[in-house]
Structure 1
Amino acid sequence: MAKLSSQLNLYIYEEIRKVLDYTMKDIISDISKLKDETKQLNVIIEEKVKNVTMELTENLRTPTVTFTARDLKFDSNLIGKTLIFPNLIVNFDDGYDNTTGVFTAPYSGMYLLTVQLCPEMNDSIHAFIKVGNGKILADLNFRNNVGEHGPCVSSNGVDFLTKGDKAWVFCTHANSNGDVIYIGGHGNSFSGTLIHR
């Protein structure tokens, strides 16, 4: 009986050892698979983080939007008209239309807009930079009592424009319907720059 009991104990011990061996092998195999899956998951996560970071960086970067147009299409009969500056010096992102005199914001952001005009001797001009629905951004009001061809004067302003908002130079007053702007020196200009998005 003692011999049988000893053999039974040995058998039970062997069976338990076999079960433990199989269980350990399964656990080790599962851990190995888990490590491989974790590595793959880390690679996927790193790639996603890299892509999102690049996208956020691109969205935060202020794109280059700038224009300068000079001279005037017309230098008489300006009252009540949008001033058109036909000669483009620079027009990054094609926001300024030199046939209408209107700038259209290609992105939402803070824009700096500037107008410069050169009234003839003894002539005066009053013009606004208007934005959006007609809000006055800058006011240029000057009478030339100084010299035959100048000085040129400028006015500027900064405002937030939503993508698609318009900006233009509008003449509210000139002292005559005749030639009031000196156009020989190319000093008349309208320009703008996106300074922050």
Structure 2
Amino acid sequence: MRVIAGSAKRLQLKTPDGPDTRPTTDRIKETLFNMLAPHLYGCTFLDLFAGSGGIGIEALSRGAAEAVFVEKSPRAMACIKENLNFTKLSPKAVTMQTDVLTALRRLEGEKKFDYIFMDPPYNQSIEEKVLLYLAGSALLSEDGMIIVEAAKDTQFAYADALGLRIIREKVYKTNKHVFLEMTQKEQI
């Protein structure tokens, strides 16, 4: 796995050993960031279930002002920190070794994010719990976007009821990226 573009272009990233992490392939990462590229410079990026940190590092490499990496596994967090140091992107990164919902509660009122990316374990409905929290939080900036990497057959029919609108889905062989935004709140 490598950084595709930007200041850390072509640098190889380490990935944690074991079945607990499933790094996004370079090809899928490149497709994702080609879609986001025009809006990345100067943005704030939240990488949930960060694994090796490859997604947040790619965002930083391409000009994000700051990325917060949330990962519960000590082994994976050590890998993220090593990758951030190797790419020299540590000064623009914040790491949080905790579960995602605890991290979100800690970040509430402290930060707003232009992009919130999550890649939770597949087929466990974890993304629904996180989206439920995010729908009621102030963590997403006004024009912000939530991106969920999920198994190809994962359904998001509940999104509308949470006040989220699916604006795009990009389907790959075994998984997909779902792009969501908050629906506009009615003015009183």
TM superposition score category, shorter chain reference: under 0.3
Q: TM-score, normalised by structure 1?
A: 0.25
Point out the structure with max Rg over C-alpha: 1
Structure with the higher fraction of residues in strand conformation: 1
Q: TM-score, normalised by structure 2?
A: 0.25
